[in-house]
Amino acid sequence: MSGAAVDSMMRHTQEKEIRDAADTASRLAAIVASSTDGIVTKDLTGKITSWNPACQAMFGYTADEVLGKSITILYPKGTENEEEVVLEQIRRGQPVRLSEKERVRKDGTTIWVSVAASPLLDAAGHVTGAAAIKRDLTATRALTKEREDARERVQEIARLQDINRLKTQFINMAAHELWTPLVPLRTEVHLLLTSHTARPTASQKESLDVIGRSLERLATLVEDLLTVARSEAGHLGIQTQPIDLANVLIKALETFQTLANDRGIKLTVPRGVVINIVADPMRISQVLVNLLSNAFKFTPKGRRISVELEDEGENVRVSVVDTGAGIAKIDLPRLFTPFTQVHDTTQVTAPGSGLGLYICKQFIELHGGTIGADSPGKGNGSTFWFTLPKRGAPRTPVPDADWSHAALSKTRDPTHKELP
């Protein structure tokens, strides 16, 4: 081979090497430019020597703004000296991996990144700086946080369900244990008051009446607590059937007529109407009795209480309108929550359990209806109303013929007087 040929071949080789090197450089540049990870190089003092578009997108600075400046402009205030540790490791030729580091954007907002920094070497193998790849973890962190939050919520729900179950168990057990002494107490007082062999003296009878009335109050409270416990455990049910609502209302009102006469209260009820609906007559009657008991409790002698029945097409509305104490606007929304009592110090009547209206709400809602109260304010009377869909609840429980026995599921009439 001639010298010229060799020279030519050498030149070709060198040219190819140069071309290859240029190709490699442009390919790398393209990768750096198009990378979604931020790629930044810095010298051994921490000054930025290159800054790719992803860095600009990530931190908000253009290359012109950061070239020649210290990398610590990205560090949160007070953490700048951490860079010294990184540079020390780079100088020793060791790569640096940082996960979940907080950095600051140009606009001052926080960004979370992972950093992989590797030493840059010159031809002689000396460290001249570092190339760092920064990955934006903000989205990943948000997702992780969302997952953690979701997991926490699930745990919280399970915890609350546990508490609720325990609470229900506790109330059930407490109510059961309370009935055990209450049954003989009520029975014995009844026996003493009705005994034909040993009649109590007037003074003894007075005492027995007080005991009896207090026992009835206690019995109502225990029964209301049980009802709420059952409702919370999802055991409260209704037994619906086709009924004439007007007839159910008139029957429930009968027990109040005597009380109305005694107190000189004019009680008006709808007569001569028939409203056929699908509902649980016991529960509806219980709700009405509860609303009327309240009306009587807060209506002074000689005033008026009326029960109104309105046909609204799909629904029927029952209202108990009294001319009594009335309710302040602020108290209206709290009426149907458990253990709420709107106390009026001018009233001397015995308070109830604070559960009555809450229980009414449960029963009406089981029917797919709504319940509410309106009042023009203190001293101006109030209206308690409920609506019922005529065709019954959307998911009407199937009435079980076997246990529609008269005595079954019978609820205690709160106005029922156990004592003569």
Which span (47-55, 68-76, 226-234, 325-333) binds another protein, by CB under 8 A?
A: 226-234
Distance between CA atoms of residues 49 and 152, nearest Å: 45
Measured on CA atoms in the order 234, 239, 242, 245, is the torsion positive or negative? negative
- Count of residues touching another protein (by CB under 8 A): 43
Residues within window 173-192 making contact with another protein, judged by CB under 8 A: 175-176, 179-184, 186-188, 190-191
Judged by CB, which is closer to another protein: 144, or 411? 411
**Does residue 236 touch another protein according to CB under 8 A?**
yes
Identity at 106, one-letter amino acid code: K
Of residues 14, 36, 140, 194, which one binds another protein by CB under 8 A? Answer: 194
Instruction: Supply 102's token pair.
Output: 């907080």
**Residue 216 binds another protein, judged by CB under 8 A:** yes
Residue of 237, 242, 300, 302 that binds another protein (CB under 8 A): 237
> Among residues 97, 196, 343, 395, which is the contact residue for another protein, using CB under 8 A?
196
Distances, alpha carbon 383 to alpha carbons 140, 284, 298, 299, 322, in Å: 56, 17, 12, 12, 6
CA–CA gap between residue 306 and residue 260 (Å, rounded):
11
Which residue lies nearer to another protein by CB, 318 or 366?
366
Min dist. Cβ of residue 418 to another protein (A): 4
* Residue 332 makes contact with another protein by CB under 8 A: no
The verdict on 210 binding another protein (CB under 8 A) reads no
Alpha-carbon distance of 336 to 317, in angstroms, equals 18
At CA 74, angle to CA 73 and CA 78, rounded to 5?
75
Assess 81 for contact with another protein (CB under 8 A).
Answer: no
Q: Which among 33-41, 96-104, 112-120, 406-414 is the span making contact with another protein, rule CB under 8 A?
A: 406-414
Q: Which of 219, 260, 291, 373 binds another protein (CB under 8 A)?
A: 219
**398 interacts with another protein by CB under 8 A:** no
**3-state SS assignment for residue 81:** coil
Is 198 a binding residue for another protein by CB under 8 A? The answer is: yes
In the complex, minimum distance from the CB of residue 397 to another protein, in angstroms, rounded to a whole number = 9
Q: Hey, what amino acid is at 87?
A: L
Pairing relationship of beta strands 38-43 and 48-51 according to DSSP bridges: antiparallel
Q: Give the x/- contact pattern for another protein in 352-391, rule: CB under 8 A.
A: ----------------------------------------
Cβ atoms of residues 96 and 89 within 8 Å: yes
Q: Cα–Cα distance between 39 and 64 in angstroms, integer?
A: 15
Choosing from 195, 214, 268, 380, the residue that interacts with another protein (CB under 8 A) is 195
Contacts of 164 (CB under 8 A, 6+ apart): 232
The CB density around residue 39, as the number of other CB atoms within 10 Å, is 18
Q: Which is nearer to another protein, 125 or 420 (CB)?
A: 420
Nearer to another protein, 44 or 221 (CB): 221
Per DSSP, what are the bridge partners of residue 382?
Answer: 322
Q: Is residue 52 a contact partner of residue 35, using CB atoms and an 8 Å limit?
A: yes
Tokens representing 281 are 């007559």
Q: How would you list the strands of the sheet with 382-389, edge to edge? A: 266-268, 304-311, 315-322, 382-389, 370-374
Which of 235, 266, 334, 391 is the binder for another protein (CB under 8 A)? 235
Closer to another protein by Cβ: residue 18 or 191: 191
How far apart are CB 351 and another protein at their closest, in Å? Answer: 19
| Site residues, another protein (CB under 8 A) | 172, 175-176, 179-184, 186-188, 190-191, 194-198, 216, 219, 222-223, 226, 230, 233, 235-237, 400, 402-403, 405-413, 416, 418
